Chain A
Amino acid sequence: MTIIKHELRQNRTAFAVWTASIAFLLVVCIVLFPEMKGETDAVGDLFASMGSFTAAFGMDRLNIGTLTGFYAIECGNILGLGGALYASLLGISALAKEEKDRTAEFLLTHPVSRKRVVTEKLAAVLLQIIATNLLILIPALLTIGLIGEEIPLKELLLMHGAYFLLQLELACVCFGVSAFLCRGGAGIGMGLSAAAYFLNLVANISESARFLHWLTPFAYCEGADIIANGTLDGSRIAVGMTFAIIGVIAAYRQYAGKDIR
């Protein structure tokens, strides 16, 4: 528990800033909905005339005039990109920062096994992701209530659940990469998130690139699919969680025998 507490304390500023930023943007976006709803026809026409982008963002299958459609497109991008970047940064820095900041020597010359270090750091990453998602969901639900809309709880929970799993997958994959690094990997983490996001856009646009949906966690976060099916895509999530598990196993294996610089 000592390492978990220490990690949470060390990351508290970044946690507060990221969580507050995502929650704030989400709230602002929800507050804009009544205004957007009043201009449904104009906005709908605009979104429908964006060519490939309409399909890329799933706007061809969603009605922007409904709260769920609006939430899936507008809020989904904030949740998706913001959450993905934060989770990737958390994962990629967890182990690598010790060598980058030259604190690995301090930590690993205490009687703590490397397995324990990996376990507690991973637990700290997961705790922060869970806390961020809860702290984002609550103001989102409250704001929907405040603007006088009925809360589509099932759809919202499914979408937030999917984004939570996306963050989990990216954090675990980046955590695995982190064990191989001896310098900071912020660029790698952000690059992985951005690559996953754009792979999904490409897969949405081109029929021949549909297979990319199996590689990117953004695929199982498609609001259009979630709302239409009323459920999450179990098979894509299973593939995503397999990547996450591979990341975690790689972290344990690599860190156990790693030479600390």
Chain B
Amino acid sequence: MSEDAIKINNLTKYYGRTRGIEQIDLTVPQGDFFGFIGPNGAGKSTTIRTLLGLIRPTGGEAQIFGMNMINDRERILSRVGYLPSETSFYPGMRVRDVLKLSAELRGLSFQRSRQSPPHYECEQNLTDALSPRKHDCTETARLLCQRLRLDPTRKVDELSLGNKKKVGIVCALQHDPDLLILDEPTSGLDPLMQREFFGILRERSAKGTTIFLSSHILSEIQHNCAHAAMIRDGRIIASGSVEELSRTGARRVSIRGQIDYGALSGVKNLRTSPEGAEFLYHGDMQALLAVMANGAIRDVSITEPDLEEIFLHYYTN
């Protein structure tokens, strides 16, 4: 049986006396599309930066593909593609120079074309250019630039936030990594590009790439990830399949009409209007039905809450 892509045991990081993360335990199997959810300052980036060896843990350990992050850092990073939440590049460089530098730092070759920008209308399938692992990533980079509509001849200093993000995406993907670690990957990308980007990720995932996606945009996690973990105040508060996480005892109740809300316990996020009310209910279902039976109801819907509501449920506790 193959080792897990990511295995974190009791990982703790303190910045002096300030908490970063505390006793994080997390396992991401190979090939998984894993979501990492949490609000700003919860510890997502600290976890990722510890995983990548940018910061040293105060305690615990992290393994990637069975290798220790501190002792086998270079071997691990040769199999990892990383997209930071804020992409910064060296000033004065063109996009193609950044891609070439990234490839060469990985010991790969990159033919820097001086041709004009690629013909964007020419859509090609990236999967043809991917495996087997190649020593030249020029073609993969070219196809990624085409799909993301990124002009490799532009200077990085002149690029918008979204286009800088695209350069980061190509750097993270062009060497066909076994594990992709993406920190808030869609910030700055327009909806069309977000769709294209997730299309590329799904293709990579289908080919066996493990994807670790950190985000606070819950719909991204819900629509793309198989498993997820939620982090709050530096600790993992829930993890499992996205389906399981969404399947809690709580229900979203939408009522047109009037009932006696005071008679119900377990009502959260109550929003009333002259027409009726909406709330998250995690109390006894019989009690809810009884209260509704005694009320004046014109319409009712009881649904599973979406991940965003689950998230709020966890975070408001």
Contact = CB atoms under 8 A, between A and B. Distances in A.
A110 B106 contact: yes
Nearest to B74: A111
A215 interface: no
Contacts of B55: 259-260
Interface stretch (A57-65, A101-109, A134-142, A242-250): A101-109
A113 interface: yes
Nearest to A260: B54
Contacts of A3: 105
A260 B54 CA distance: 5
Most chain A CB within 10 A, of B53, B87, B105, is at B105
B54 A2 contact: no
B277 interface: no
Contacts, number: 63
Interface string A1-22: 0110010001000000000000
A106 to B, nearest CB: 7
B65 to A, nearest CB: 13
B292 to A, nearest CB: 54
A259 B88 contact: no
Given A112-B74, A113-B73, A6 B101 contact: yes
Contacts of B104: 2
A107 B282 CA distance: 48
A257 interface: yes
A112 B49 contact: no
Interface in B67-101: 73-78, 80, 82, 84, 86-92, 101
Nearest to A109: B82
Interface string A83-108: 00000000000000000011111111
Interface of A: 2-3, 6, 10, 101-113, 257, 259-260
25 contacts: A2-B101, A6-B90, A6-B101, A10-B90, A102-B86, A102-B88, A103-B88, A104-B54, A105-B84, A105-B88, A106-B84, A106-B87, A106-B88, A109-B52, A109-B77, A110-B105, A111-B74, A111-B75, A111-B106, A111-B107, A257-B56, A259-B15, A259-B54, A260-B49, A260-B54
